[in-house]
Amino acid sequence: MKPVLHSLQDSLLGQALRGADPAVIVGFQLVHIVGLLLLLTGVLLLALRLFNLGLRAQSTAEVAGIAGPLQNWGLAAAALSGFAMFTSNAVVYANNPALQLKLLLLAGAVLLQLTLVRRLLKKPAIGALPAAVASTSLLLWSGTALAGRAIGFV
């Protein structure tokens, strides 16, 4: 693992970001937070619909039609900017417990999204399953954001 981390932070991207103007880092932070908000908004929209708490006049498919792109573009922006910031100091970041927790929660959230959430959107289920999946997804994504917020504090 260690050689990979070293080669990441010695890569062109890693070196460029380490020596970069603070304004560039701020730019990456802004892309990261906007991406995160888009992603969370998509998760929230879908959760509101699956819980029957909001947008009840729309079908789940209609809500998923907005939530899907928000989640995909949001995740792409957050993941790319996050990866770039990670390369600037990969060895130190990899040992940060908050980041480790964040990556674990992120993996769980993406896995749930690709399996149960996707299946639920294709074939709507009745009973408690939609709400259970929506709340687990919301918890995992919120946890990812919270753990991310803690990276600078631990």
Minimum Å gap between C-beta 36 and another protein is: 8
Q: At what angle do helices 22-50 and 60-87 cross, to 10 degrees?
A: 150
Name the residue nearer to another protein (CB basis): 5 or 141. Answer: 141
**Per CB under 8 A, does 103 bind another protein?**
no
Name the residue nearer to another protein (CB basis): 66 or 110. Answer: 66
* DSSP track, 19-64: TS-HHHHHHHHHHHHHHHHHHHHHHHHHHHHHTTSS-TTS-HHHHH
Restricted to residues 2-31, the positions that interact with another protein (CB under 8 A) are 22, 26, 29-30
HSE at residue 59, side-chain half, CA atoms within 13 A, is 7
CA distance between the termini of the chain? 22
**Per CB under 8 A, does 116 bind another protein?**
no
Residue 70 CB contacts under 8 Å (≥ 6 apart), including other chains: 38, 39, 41, 42, 45
**Per CB under 8 A, does 37 bind another protein?**
yes
Q: Which of 13, 28, 51, 58 binds another protein (CB under 8 A)?
A: 58
Q: Which of 4, 7, 10, 62 binds another protein (CB under 8 A)?
A: 62
Minimum Å gap between C-beta 20 and another protein is: 14
Report CA-CA distances (Å) from 102 to 53, 135, 139: 28, 18, 12
Return residues touching another protein (CB under 8 A). 22, 26, 29-30, 33-34, 36-38, 40-41, 44-45, 48, 53-58, 62, 66, 142, 145-146, 149-150, 153
